[in-house]
Amino acid sequence: MSFSKIIQNDFKLSMKRGLKENLLEEVLSFLIVALLI
């Protein structure tokens, strides 16, 4: 649950910045975390 909260917070920050490249990095990090769980 803590992982999902951290990911949501990072995703919100990425959306606020509005950077597509940063958003892609967040998606990649999300996939990596999903594989680790």
Give, as one character, the DSSP assignment of residue 1: -
Q: Please report the pLDDT score of residue 1 as a whole number.
A: 57
Sketch the domain layout of the chain as residue ranges. Answer: 2-36
Amino acid at 31: L
Q: Please report the pLDDT score of residue 19 as a whole number.
A: 66
Among the residues of 1-37, which ranges form H helices? 2-17, 20-36
CB atoms within 10 A of CB 9: 10
Q: Given CA atoms 27, 28, 32, 35 in this order, what sign does their dihedral have?
A: positive
Q: Please report the pLDDT score of residue 18 as a whole number.
A: 65
pLDDT in tens, 1-37: 587 888 788 878 776 766 667 678 888 988 988 888 7
Q: Please report the pLDDT score of residue 36 as a whole number.
A: 87
